[in-house]
Structure 1
């Protein structure tokens, strides 16, 4: 809607890192006044909801430095430049969980924090996973542990705030909606 559009007057890049780019934009507001916007630019990411033959959801447990705590999350990862989201999903599934699949179902795409970041998360479901003997190694600075939970157990993890991030909560709500259909 044009009535809400903000026009960028000037952009200053503050930081250009491996994962994010931070910039400050000077903008003209719809009423003609000016303001500043602090923005995080991100290449995008994927999340995968892997379901085992025993109908358990495969999660990963890892320490999250910004929160200074351990979370249980669906496997996920950053898109490499120009990488197809499905390829990222397959790579991250194997690296983080030791499982592989030939069958991905697209669930949805959503912005993770549109108030300050442009990260777009692509979410996939797979119910046809197989363990990999020689799984691809994950990032050398990433330490994860695989956790397999039923949907009811996962919902309890949400209540206990062991699952406490948006993408994983979205995944659980999605699976719960499938049960009601």
Structure 2
């Protein structure tokens, strides 16, 4: 089937919820076969994630994630502010979450969950890290851990991280340096 035959047309929409990080919309759409249905979409400003490498180790953050009611061990990440470039956001988030800044390289840009959100994630690697901390956000309680790079790759390959951006980021960077 050609792409034009799969496109869904927005007929009308409504905002169900607007918060500080996301907006939930419900749209009426016309399907390729002419039928009408609804789609619920979470609108998100976009985010960054950073593989920060120092002395054959990767800097990771441990934090409690309310949505899943557990702590996770993840790569540093955060939401884009209005009019902020992904690179500026990555540098800011790296400094806020780990205390370091570094030389950034763009690795990939991808949709996190295109079935229900338009969130796009910009993945960077960071090297040549220098201590240059920013104050963390008031609602973040983060612990920084250094994991040997080879161990992090093995954990990603064995699905021992429960965060998709962390697994993908490690494996994509490993593909560039491994």
TM-score, normalization by structure 2:
0.94
Distance 1:127 1:121 in 2: 20
Structure 2 stretches lacking a partner, 5+ long: none
Aligned counterpart in structure 2 of residue 22 of structure 1, from 7, 21, 24: 24
Distance 1:150 1:40 in 2: 36
Equivalent residues of 2:159, 2:167 under 8 A apart: no
Aligned counterpart in structure 1 of residue 163 of structure 2, from 154, 162, 165: 165
Tell me which residue corresponds to 2:140. Answer: 142
The CA deviation string for residues 79-131 of structure 1, in whole angstroms up to 9 with x for no partner, is: 00111110000100000001112x21110100000000000000111111012
Tell me which residue corresponds to 1:31. Answer: 33
Distance 1:160 1:169 in 2: 7
1:66 aligns with 2:67: yes
Distance 1:111 1:160 in 2: 20
Tell me which residue corresponds to 1:86. Answer: 87
Equivalent residues of 2:153, 2:171 under 8 A apart: no
TM-score, normalization by structure 1:
0.92
State the number of aligned residues.
Answer: 175
Query: Per-residue deviation at 1:20?
Result: 0.5
Distance 1:95 1:67 in 2: 23
SS in 2 for 1:66: helix
CA change 1:63–1:157 in 2 (3 A) is: farther
Query: Per-residue deviation at 1:68?
Result: 0.7
Distance 1:177 1:4 in 2: 34
SS in 2 for 1:83: coil
Query: Per-residue deviation at 1:48?
Result: 0.8
Any residues of structure 2 matched to 1:73-152 within 5 Å, and which? Answer: 73-101=74-102, 103-132=103-132, 135-152=133-150
- Of 109-118 and 142-151, the range deviating more from structure 2: 142-151
Any residues of structure 2 matched to 1:39-58 within 5 Å, and which? Answer: 39-52=41-54, 54-58=55-59
SS in 2 for 1:128: strand
SS in 2 for 1:164: coil
Structure 1 stretches lacking a partner, 5+ long: none
Query: Per-residue deviation at 1:176?
Result: 2.4
